[in-house]
A and B are shown apart, each in its own frame.
Chain A
Amino acid sequence: MKFAVVVFPGSNCDIDMYHAVRDELGEEAAYVDYRETSLKEYDAVLLPGGFSFGDYLRSGAIAARLPIAEGIREAAAEGKPVLGVCNGFQVLLELGLLPGAMRRNRQLTFICKPVTLEVANSRTMFTGTYGSGEQVTIPVAHGEGNYFCDEETLEELRENDQIAFTYTDDVNGSVERIAGITNRAGNVLGMMPHPERAVDELLGSADGLKMFQSILTHWRETHAVKN
């Protein structure tokens, strides 16, 4: 399976993403420059954390309006797994591939620590190897992770099972303690916590590795059916 790690000016978790896929998952990964326009040759797209374009104007806003954004849209429309972590999540929101928007953390401080998440939906292609309701430890590192959506959108997220992860504690003021959501089709996931920073016990937790394993397992299953 071949993963694309899209690199924007200001991305700083791209190497961690690459490491997670290449060294821990044992699959292929390639960095894709933000000036590229197509992601056709990849099976999955990873949008890493960081501060794309310095987070100027709004987090993720400038990144979401580049030509590569079309490649990301195409991959999403084709049903490929598209995972956006932290700034990658903000980019997905700005792309309109996921509903809602991000505000400054309620307590205004940058939060950088391991947090406990609950797997709210273990039936997605990103969470298949987790148990339903399983609690996992994955670090967060963000100043703008306070997820917002209106009541109507929240109702849709609930009804369509789009809430993938919630924080067990109120970490940043997010609506319903939401940590990660999927699109309606289930192939686009945005989350603020960093699974790529939790892929080995040496890092304090290997709980994030299961996410990459879930993507691979799902891909192998669907691929086997096609052949």
Chain B
Amino acid sequence: MKYEVQVFVTLKEAVLDPQGSAVNHSLNQHGYTEVEDVRIGKVITLTLDGEREAVDARVTEMCEKLLANPVIEDYRFEVREVAAQ
């Protein structure tokens, strides 16, 4: 079966996010003063073939090994089945 996995990598709460701070500042300047905080992360979309029960473990491994840096980043992911071509 084919799956699409969206991996969300974000800076840990305790880590200052300079990009987020800059965007927060800019939004405030544009009059969106209700915005109190902005955090920027990234979305990595994987398309893969495999058995559903193996996908979570495999993707977790990918996150731990390469996709996220556990020193400063957290990750989570969502798996959805896609129709085979």
Contacts and interface: CB of A to CB of B under 8 A. Distances in A.
Contacts of B35: none
Contacts of B22: 108
Interface in A69-105: 93-94, 99-101, 103-105
A61 B69 contact: yes
B16 A173 contact: yes
A148 B15 CA distance: 8
Interface string B58-72: 000000011101011
A177 interface: no
B72 A61 contact: no
Contact of A106 (B15, B18, B67, B71): B18
Interface string B24-36: 0000000000000
Contacts of A57: 66-67
B1 interface: no
B16 A108 contact: no
B69 A101 contact: yes
A146 interface: yes
B70 to A, nearest CB: 9
Nearest to B19: A104
A107 B21 CA distance: 10
B72 A101 contact: yes
Contacts of B16: 103, 106, 148, 173
A156 to B, nearest CB: 14
Q: Tell me whether chain A's interface is mostly helix, strand or loop, or mixed.
A: loop
A103 B72 contact: yes
A94 B68 CA distance: 10
Contact of A103 (B15, B65, B67): B15
B83 interface: no
Contacts of A94: 69
Contact of A148 (B66, B67, B72): B72
B84 interface: no
A150 B65 contact: no
A61 B66 contact: yes
Contact of B14 (A65, A93, A105, A150): A150
A103 B71 CA distance: 11
20 contacts: A57-B66, A57-B67, A61-B66, A62-B66, A65-B65, A93-B71, A99-B71, A101-B69, A101-B71, A101-B72, A103-B17, A103-B18, A103-B72, A104-B19, A105-B18, A108-B19, A146-B18, A148-B15, A148-B72, A173-B18
Given A103-B18, A148-B72, 16 more contacts: A58-B69, A65-B66, A93-B71, A94-B69, A100-B71, A101-B69, A101-B72, A103-B11, A103-B15, A103-B16, A105-B18, A106-B16, A108-B18, A108-B22, A148-B15, A148-B16
Interface of A: 57-58, 61-62, 65, 93-94, 99-101, 103-108, 146, 148-150, 173
